[in-house]
Amino acid sequence: MNTQSTKNNTAKTGAINNVVIAGGGTAGWMAAAAFAKLVGKNINVTLVESDQIPTVGVGEATIPTLHIFHDLLKIKESEFMAATNASFKLGISFENWRDQNKDYIHSFGYLGQGCWAAGFQHFWLKGQQQNIASEIGDYCPEHLACRKQKFAVVSNQDRNHAFHLDAGLYAKFLRQFAEQHGATRIEGKIEQVNLEPQNGFIESLSLENGKTVAGDLFIDCTGFVGLLIEKALHTGYEDWSHWLPCDSAIAVQTEQVKPALPYTRSIAHPFGWQWKIPLQNRMGNGMVFCSKHVSDEEAKATLLGNIEGKLLNEPKIIKYRTGTRRKHWNKNCVAVGLSSGFLEPLESTSIHLIQQSIIRLLQHLPSKAMEQSLADDFNAKMRFEIDNIRDFIVMHYKVTERTDSAFWRYCKTMPIPQGLKSRIDLFEESAQAFKTDGELFGETSWIQVMIGQGLMPQSYHPIVDNMSDQELKNFLDTIKNSIAKRVDSLPHHLDFIRQYCLAKPM
């Protein structure tokens, strides 16, 4: 047995000098920007990409955690927004998901106010039973701001907002940032991934133009193809299409014919769902669908029949398989972005996972020996986070009243992961929701989506009965009125964009 190949690259010692990023989509340039800015003083950062191979060209809705990434890199919000035609996003409107003509919003804020024993939902549930509570979104500022199209960045408040952005412009913005901080871009198609014969670690990339790019650590950002992590290292893929059966998408951009809303729209159809992502200057549209239940042509026709404004590009079909790479970090290669797997875009979580992989890799930065313990810990933490995001997304499909098509009947009756089943039972029986360390989605998200999808708990916590009905009414009214007052005082979303981050006309 070759002892050098057992655990890590033990023949090598010392700090890594060269990080090579393969691929220049959102994942590649986010990685290059972060590595160049945060560790670029001592490490050479090289990105290889090919103009011949297009990026996936979608991925334009984000979640509020992007602030963490931008803060780390000291990227100014108003500058990045102006450069990427971005608008603000306060949540997602789920239309026809619970059933046809039944809509709800999953917003990014917090719900009302709870007590040490019971969250706000318990008080709201009793209020509903007594007919003294209105819809749950009235008790969440971000939710109400969505409905009223209001927005402002308020310096002493939580930044519970995200962005809709132009993916192509975001990669361009990050490229400029990365190059300013010392990253080097090499143009060229990767033709071969060269492995060290003794241990199978990646030694270098051979490009079509004859260049060879050697490195210590390789970050695979080559998209669905997974050129390094899969084609070269054969890491394996765990398929989740039995839980997330949509496997295709069609994307198209249109002219903006209505003012941009401060939220994404997700509209369910008999075989999947449609997105509408409003930027300052255009609308991103797409249809996510299950090819077992509809043809590409019919899905495309449905999409084109449900959008407004002139088409700005040819509709593009994207095929994928939901799931995750068995290891995101294998030998001296870390998969980031689509090369690491894909859930689906329902809750706009992919860019978040990209930033998590990058920040986590920086926190677990190995030496040339590529310590296996770092890789194991990285993989375990990524896996925990992804499993939980997966469950949250699966819940949207599972908890539905729709039975109008074979697709929805499948989703409604499909077996689900045990952890998700326990969460659903817990909420249904006792209105309890929870978030454990390392999970992305908090109680408020679970509650809004479970109730929005039609899962109404059977009981609330008995501590709520300590309040008289009048006290409960006063409590609920005070929260609702103060939120309404706060939201009413905000400017219209578009007025705020105009003075804060207006993009230059193209």
Nearer to ligand FAD, 6 or 209 (CB): 209
* Subset of 397-416 contacting ligand FAD (CB under 6 A): none
Among 39, 53, 186, 463, binds ligand FAD (CB under 6 A): 53
Find the binding residues for ligand FAD in span 353-372 (CB under 6 A): 354
Q: Report the candidate in 312, 341, 311 with the shortest Cα–Cα distance to residue 327.
A: 341
Gyration radius of the chain over CA positions? 24
Q: Among 55, 93, 204, 356, which residue sits at the site for ligand FAD (rule: CB under 6 A)? A: 55
* Interface mask toward ligand FAD for 228-267; x: CB under 6 A: ---------------------x-x----------------
For ligand FAD, the closer CB: 27 or 136: 27
Q: Six-digit token pair at 29?
A: 């340039």
- Asked if 345 touches ligand FAD (CB under 6 A), the answer is yes
Active site residue 7: no
Q: Does 125 bind ligand FAD (CB under 6 A)?
A: no
CA distance 196 to 265: 48
Distance CA 182, CA 32 (A): 9
Pairwise CA distance, residues 407 & 405, whole Å: 5
Select from 53-61, 302-310, 443-451, 494-502 the region that touches ligand FAD (CB under 6 A). 53-61
Binding-site size, ligand FAD (CB under 6 A) = 38
Structure-block tokens of residue 243: 């839980």
Given 87, 324, 350, 400, the residue binding ligand FAD (CB under 6 A) = 350
Q: Which CB sits closer to ligand FAD, 134 or 184?
A: 184
Annotate 217-270 with DSSP letters as a single string: EEEE--GGG-IIIIIIT---EEE-TTTS---EEEEEEEE--SPPPSSEEEEEET
Return the range that interacts with ligand FAD (CB under 6 A); candidates 87-95, 113-121, 253-261, 335-343. Answer: 335-343
- Residue 59 contacts ligand FAD per CB under 6 A: yes
Q: Tell me the window of 10-18, 301-309, 342-350, 404-412 that interacts with ligand FAD (CB under 6 A).
A: 342-350
Distance of CA 84 to the CA centre of its chain: 18
Among 286, 315, 323, 341, binds ligand FAD (CB under 6 A): 286
Task: Tell me if 223 contacts ligand FAD by CB under 6 A.
Answer: yes
Residue 21 or 370 with smaller CB distance to ligand FAD: 21
Distance between CA atoms of residues 332 and 219, nearest Å = 8
Min separation Cβ 133 and ligand FAD, Å: 33
Q: Which one among 16, 23, 37, 268 touches ligand FAD, defined by CB under 6 A?
A: 23
65 to each of 161, 162, 195, 349, how far by Cα in Å? 9, 8, 36, 10
Cβ neighbours, 10 Å, residue 155: 6
Q: Kindly tell me which residue out of 8, 199, 222, 324 binds ligand FAD, with binding defined by CB under 6 A.
A: 222
Among 11, 68, 115, 225, binds ligand FAD (CB under 6 A): 225
Other CB atoms within a 10 A radius of the CB of residue 209 amount to 11
Establish if 220 lies at the interface with ligand FAD (CB under 6 A). no
Spatial CA neighbour of 385 closest among 445, 326, 438? 438
- Closest to 459 in 3D by CA, of 421, 433, 425, 428: 428
Task: Tell me how far the alpha carbon of residue 20 is from its chain's centroid.
Answer: 25
Q: In 311-450, which ranges are E strands? A: 316-319, 323-325, 329-330, 333-335, 341-342
Q: d(Cα 246, Cα 146) in Å, to the nearest integer?
A: 28
- Tell me which of 89, 327, 331, 398 is the catalytic residue: 89
Q: Is 431 helix (H, G, I), strand (E, B) or coil?
A: coil
- Cβ proximity to ligand FAD: between 201 and 275 the closer is 275
Which pair of tokens denotes residue 135? 């819809």
Stretch that binds ligand FAD, among 346-354, 456-464, 479-487, 497-505 (CB under 6 A): 346-354
CB of 55 to ligand FAD, least distance (A): 3
Select the residue interacting with ligand FAD from 24, 109, 137, 457 (CB under 6 A). Answer: 24
- Looking at the Cβ atoms of 160 and 349, the one nearer to ligand FAD is 349
Give the shortest CB-277-to-ligand FAD separation in angstroms.
7
Q: Report how far residue 138's alpha carbon sits from residue 58's, in angstroms, rounded to the nearest whole number.
A: 32
Q: Specify the residue, 354 or 479, whose C-beta has the smaller distance to ligand FAD.
A: 354
Please provide residue 488's backbone torsions phi and psi, each rounded to the nearest 5 degrees: -60, -30
Contact 137, 107 (CB under 8 A): yes
- Does 61 interact with ligand FAD (rule: CB under 6 A)? yes
Positions in 159-218 near ligand FAD (CB under 6 A): 167, 189-190
State how far the Cα of 280 lies from the Cα of 259, in Å rounded to an integer: 8
Looking at beta carbons, which pairs linking 169-172 to residues 24 or more positions away fall under 8 Å?
Answer: 169/83, 169/84, 169/85, 170/26, 170/29, 170/80, 170/84, 171/24, 171/25, 171/26, 171/28, 171/29, 171/55, 172/83
Residues in the chain: 506
Beta carbon nearer to ligand FAD, 176 or 422: 176
**Nearest Cα residue to 328 out of 31, 10, 12:** 31
Question: Does 318 participate in binding ligand FAD (rule CB under 6 A)?
Answer: yes
Binder of ligand FAD out of 8, 45, 49, 423 (CB under 6 A): 49
- Answer yes or no whether residue 58 interacts with ligand FAD by CB under 6 A: yes
Give the active site residues: 89
Q: Which residues bind ligand FAD (CB under 6 A)?
A: 23-28, 48-50, 53, 55-56, 58-62, 167, 189-190, 221-223, 225, 227, 249, 251, 286, 318, 320, 337-339, 345, 348, 350-351, 354
